[in-house]
Amino acid sequence: MSRFLMPPPARNARRLALRLGPFSTRLAVRGLAANLLLASYLLLVVWLGLSLGSRPIPLATILAWLRLEQVNDTDSIILGSLRAPRLCLSMLSGAMLALSGALTQHVTRNGLADPGLIGVRSAAALLIVALILAWPQAPLALRPVVGLAGGLLAGLVVGLLARGASPLKFVMIGFGISWCLSSALVILLASADIRSLQRAMMWLAGSLEGADWPAVRLALVVFVPTAIACLGLARQAELLDLGAATASALGINQTRLHVACLAIAVLLVATSVSVAGGLGFVGLVAPHMARFLPRQGLAGRLICATLIGALLVMVADLAGNVAFAPIRLPVGISLAAIGAPVLILLLWLRRNRI
């Protein structure tokens, strides 16, 4: 039996070899530390999200509630049916958007690629708005189903049209489809009556008002298996950095890899749009923010971007709830208000490197 922890080889001190029986891996120490730091921030924001609001709840009560102990009814209802599902949903939707953005940007070799930009988000939004307008009494649970169908359909159409095309062409075709769908959405909104229009606009702005446990469950059911699949695919996908010829020579089936990665990305975005509305930016910005942290393997970078995305949406929702209380801003709006300056700041800081 091998020793559990190998001492790092002197020449390559920034990586740590980890071996246990047939299992072995190599970890980028600094990248791992960065990810753990982000995860601890996440816990901090979870605490803030559960305790802040029109009725502040002390940490002791939250911990007691988490241990399923008896707490007073008001706190229990506020935590169990308002704050906790909302927090979970903001975390999951941010994580899904960021993971999908990071994966798409890597696979298409394009720092601007984001499934939201290639028509997936527009298609999901179009179908959900159509549902809201055509059948205002429709149960909320129907929205994710419809959104998912629309998103996957758009992803399929773009995939088929761009089959075998270069990454750039793929993104361009996606842009085209996306614009078509957006104009269809505007036509739909322009012809709607004023009351359902308001509901549709609220949803479009990205809102977590309707957050409940069924939505969280749906998001979890999609997120957990796809995230695991991403970590499996990451080992292959990182070889794409070495060029198509080398990746093939190392035994990668690139067509299959591209299809798998993009299908996962589309699924994640469509799910996120269905449960949380049109949240812009996260998929685009989170992977770029991850580049400021120490270099690590693709799996580590994906985890890093996912954590950043979750943090972004949680912080934006929290800020939207607290900043102008008792008025609550839809998370899409506070996200844009926070995300846009952050993006510009990052680009400015990196101005010499692009």
Partner 1 sequence: MTSRSADPPTRSRLTAEALSVGHGGQAVVQDIELDIFEGCMTALLGPNGSGKSTLLAGFARLLPALGGSVRLDGSDLATFPTRHVARVLGLLPQQPPVPEGLSVFDLVARGRFPHQGFFSQWSRQDEAAVGEALALAALADLADRPVETLSGGQRQRAWIAMVLAQETPLLLLDEPTTFLDAAHQVAILDLLRDLVRRHRRTVVCVLHDLNMALQYADRLVFLKEGRIRHVLTHPSQCDGRIIEEVFEMPVVSLKHPQSGLPVFLPCASRQPEARP
Binding site for partner 1 (CB under 8 A): 2, 9, 11-15, 17-19, 22-26, 232, 235-236, 238-239, 241-243, 245-246, 248-253, 295
Residue entry with tokens 């359902």: 196
Q: Which two tokens stand for residue 20?
A: 């246990």
CB of 69 to partner 1, least distance (A): 40
β-sheet bridge partners, residue 23:
20
Smallest gap from residue 239 Cβ to partner 1 (A): 6
The structure tokens 């549709």 sit at: 200
Rank residues 18 and 134 by Cβ distance to partner 1 and give the closer one.
Answer: 18
Shortest Cβ distance from residue 185 to partner 1 (Å)?
A: 37
Lookup: tokens for 162 = 């761009």
- Pick between residue 191 and residue 352 the one whose CB is nearest to partner 1: 352
CA distance 144 to 271: 7
**In the bound complex, what is the minimum distance in angstroms from residue 17's beta carbon to partner 1?**
5
| CB atoms closer than 10 angstroms to residue 41 | 16
Q: Which residue, 23 or 348, is less far from partner 1 as judged by CB?
A: 23
Closer Cβ to partner 1, 198 or 248, answer by number = 248
For residues 178 and 236, which CB has a smaller minimum distance to partner 1 in the complex?
Answer: 236
Length of the chain: 354
Of residues 2 and 40, the one with the C-beta less far from partner 1:
2
Q: How far is the CB of 293 from partner 1 (least distance, A)?
A: 12
**Shortest Cβ 249–partner 1 spacing (Å):** 4
